[in-house]
Chains A and B, each alone.
Chain A
Amino acid sequence: MLDVKMYDSKDEIAWCPGCGNFSILPALKQALAELELEPHEVVVASGIGQAAKMPHYITVNGFNGLHGRAVPPATGIKIANKDLNVIIHSGDGDTYGEGGNHLIHGIRRNVNIAHFVHQNQIYGLTKGQGSPTTTKGQKTTMQFDGVRMDQLRPLALAVSLDCSFVARSFSGDKEHLVSIMKQAITHKGYALVDILQPCVIFNHVNTYKWYKENSYYLDESYDPTDKVAAFQKALEWEEGVPLGVIYKNEKPTYIDGVPYLNEGPPLVDRKWDPKEAEKFMEDFR
């Protein structure tokens, strides 16, 4: 195991005191240290939001892009260099709202990346508006009479798309979170992890206490390879929020499907001389 201090960043943290993100950051460092991944071997990509500030608070390669657009650059980075371990950290607004289309097709593309969603069921950075996962009817700083839309079940969406790894964890249980993070990072394929993370300022419904009282751990009798059972499990919320690996399907990744990427060197190491393209000109003779 590597020294977790190696990942410390000197950047000043802008999260609110008590924020669930404070537990996710050390869990990530712990997971990387246990997996013995050095800072230069890892890229954390993000969109915009409180969760998306993660690249600044950890010393690994970082790509802090546009709101909702964490998935495309992360995908690109992995395609460019399959040797890098690419991890997305972004919130529920970024991933399930603004970036919904990219999530759908990122899952379909099945590039080998781990996607950690800091799920607090509210918009934090913009001060408390409803997110796609806010409970229907909940009053917010924008939806004064309550959210009118149905609450998204992101993990059911992921299972329906046959996402190759789908899990949920809770920022209040570091041991569980580290374990899930490690499984997601080492899993070959797109790994979506929904991390319950209370927003202590703007979400007064889904608090630490609420998550603790309303969640339960999947036990060993649960079979995460059964897709239909996984879909049912992923729909569960009001009756109890399941924590653990919900669905797993080992299948070829995007890079597995491109033989010269799979067998050859990383794309970034491709050697190319312009003269090699001269043969293509024959098409136009």
Chain B
Amino acid sequence: MKYNILIGGSAGQGMDTWAVLLEKIIKRKGYYVFSNKDYMSRIRGGHNFIQIRFGTEPISSHDPKLDIIVALDKNTIDFHTERLQENGVIICDQAIEIEDKRVLALPLKELAKELGNPKVTGTICMGVVLKLFGMNFDRVEEVFEEKFEKETTELNFKAFQEGYEYAQQQFHIEKGGEDQHILINSNQAIALGALAGGVGFFAGYPMTPFTSIMTYMSEKQEDAKMVVEQVEDEIAAINMAIGTSYAGVRSMTGTSGGGFSLMTEALGLAGIMENPLVVANIQRPGPATGLPTRTEQSDLSFILTASHGEIPRMVLAVRHAEDAFYQTVRALNLADKYQMLVIILGDQYLSDATETIKPYDFSKVTIERHIAGKESFKDGEYKRYQPTEDGLSPRIIPGKHRGQIVLTDSDEHNEYGHITESAEVRTAMMDKRMKRMDALKEELIEPDYFGVDHPENLLIGWGSMYGPLKEAVALLQEEGISVGTLVFGDIYPLPTKLLEKYSTTAKQILNVEQNYTGQLAKLIRQETGIHCSKSILKYDGRQMCSHEIYSRVKGEVL
């Protein structure tokens, strides 16, 4: 059992606030929830909407079919009614003129006015929605109490009750289970992972859709006794984080789009200095300013070689909110272990997609710093770039050992960190830096696989395509189609075992990506020689849903 509610209106109508409350109430009633946002890059006006999908089974992506539309303006009805089910309901103010038997027109504005605050329109609608589903008042008041002061709670609860009285039950739904979940989006999960993983310093510059990572960490910085610094630009952000990392603090930065482009020179700095660094790039459609509030997976090809010269790097894409937390912790540990750059890729879809998942297990989280001590200078003098078999030199914290100094350089350097142009030293240092990739390859995580054991049709995707692909495969399998999907989290170095296994029997390999050039397919071809026979691509800034993949696979491929 799954239902889908759309709440639409213009920016500035406060939808965000009460949609979050509604999600929370449904979640507390023991249902699985998945919500996503579609909004324009403006503060007032335009058309924005939020879709809340809920049910008694786990949900991993959004769905086009709607059961309820809460329309705070006429646009919402015009744009979305097409997707409303036959027995669906449109909730709107009675002033909106519309002919549709599914309309439930209410004196929303009037009621809100009577209650003394026009802002409670949304809360009235919330009451209507709960009544339509026949849900009771349980957990409603507590959610309001957590959000508002006493007076506002009372006002909202009253508004909620008003709305509740105005409707009749329409849908007969199964009862929810016991609420054992958390409700979180991937940006919050990255931030929580960074806090758990012991990030001591985070620098950034606000940029949609990355910003909420930094906002959450900033809110917690005092409590966690770490520092979040909003800097003058992304160049400062990454250079500052490299400085704190050099000085021994676990450090991270993050950005989106153009901000990442600005950081590229310093990616190489982290590389040549062998300073651990984690950079989160929450993708949005480019180029240049592109579509600031929308989604795309178009930074992969760029990220694989971003920065001039050659450096060791790891790229991993978060696939959902559970993955985002653990992968962030892992990224931090790997950055320290290999003294290198690890880039986390997210995107707008995941950054605004809230899902119910099982709570994170903090006892599984470890902080592995790999900081060396006195043994690293037992011969007398510490050398930051001391040659070793695996290319990793012991790393000490500057200032902590009397008589020892740590010298690091963006120029090619010798074992002491001094500038050199020696051909031999250059070669040795390049080998030293790149060699760590061999060890890293041994601890890659293979992609997730869903589908039949020997699929004739293999769909390949990465990052946020996880949910849509997983559900699309289920839809195709229902029709007896031989299909499976591999969804990559670790992307570079590319894990190849499962890819090789499933591609040998597959008759068709299709890459499903949210970009124009099929960037994962290119990488796969480059690393393994495996060709994807067809591509399902989308680059309009809106996330593909399972139904879209399903119909495109059937229409364009089978």
Contacts and interface: CB of A to CB of B under 8 A. Distances in A.
A18 interface: no
Contact of B399 (A40, A45, A258): A40
B39 to A, nearest CB: 21
Interface stretch (A70-78, A155-163, A195-203, A241-249): A70-78
A63 B408 contact: yes
Residue among A39, A59, A73, A261 facing the most chain B CB atoms (10 A cut-off): A73
B195 interface: yes
Contacts of B188: 284
Contacts of A73: 239-240, 242-243, 246
Interface string A50-80: 0001011001111111100101111111011
Interface string B186-219: 0010001001111011010000000000000000
B217 to A, nearest CB: 10
Given A267-B249, A274-B365, A281-B359, A75 B402 contact: no
Given A72-B243, A277-B362, A285-B182, A268 B248 contact: yes
A76 B243 contact: yes
Given A63-B408, A80-B244, A272-B367, A56 B419 contact: yes
A3 interface: no
Contact of B242 (A76, A84, A285): A76
Interface in B28-75: none
Contacts of B329: 274
B236 interface: yes
B66 to A, nearest CB: 26
A238 to B, nearest CB: 32
B186 to A, nearest CB: 12
Given A40-B404, A69-B266, A277-B195, A76 B201 contact: yes
A232 B159 CA distance: 63
Contacts of A81: 247-249, 397-399
Interface residues of A, number: 54
Nearest to B419: A56
A186 interface: no
B529 interface: no
Interface string B387-408: 0000000000111111111111
Interface in A229-280: 258, 260-261, 264, 267-268, 270, 272-278, 280
Contacts of A72: 203, 231, 235-237, 239-240, 243
Contact of A40 (B201, B242, B401): B401
Interface stretch (A23-31, A99-107, A164-172): A99-107
Nearest to B321: A284
B370 interface: no
Contacts of B418: 11, 56
B376 interface: no
A274 B419 contact: no
Contacts of A277: 192, 195-196, 224, 362
Contact of A278 (B251, B269, B362): B362
A260 B406 contact: no
Q: Which of A48, A59, A63 lies at the interface centre, i.e. has the most chain B CB atoms within 10 A of its CB?
A: A63
Contact of A65 (B223, B269, B406): B269
Given A56-B418, A274-B198, A278-B196, 15 more contacts: A40-B398, A48-B410, A63-B243, A64-B409, A65-B269, A72-B237, A74-B243, A77-B244, A80-B249, A101-B233, A105-B231, A105-B236, A277-B195, A281-B360, A285-B182
Interface of A: 11, 38-41, 43, 45, 48, 53, 55-56, 59-66, 69, 71-77, 79-81, 83-84, 101-102, 104-105, 258, 260-261, 264, 267-268, 270, 272-278, 280-281, 284-285
18 contacts: A40-B400, A55-B407, A56-B419, A64-B407, A69-B239, A73-B239, A76-B247, A77-B246, A80-B249, A81-B247, A81-B248, A83-B399, A102-B236, A261-B227, A268-B249, A272-B224, A276-B224, A285-B182
Interface of B: 182-184, 188, 192, 195-198, 200-201, 203, 220, 222-227, 229, 231-233, 235-237, 239-249, 251, 265-266, 269, 329, 359-360, 362-363, 365-367, 397-411, 417-419
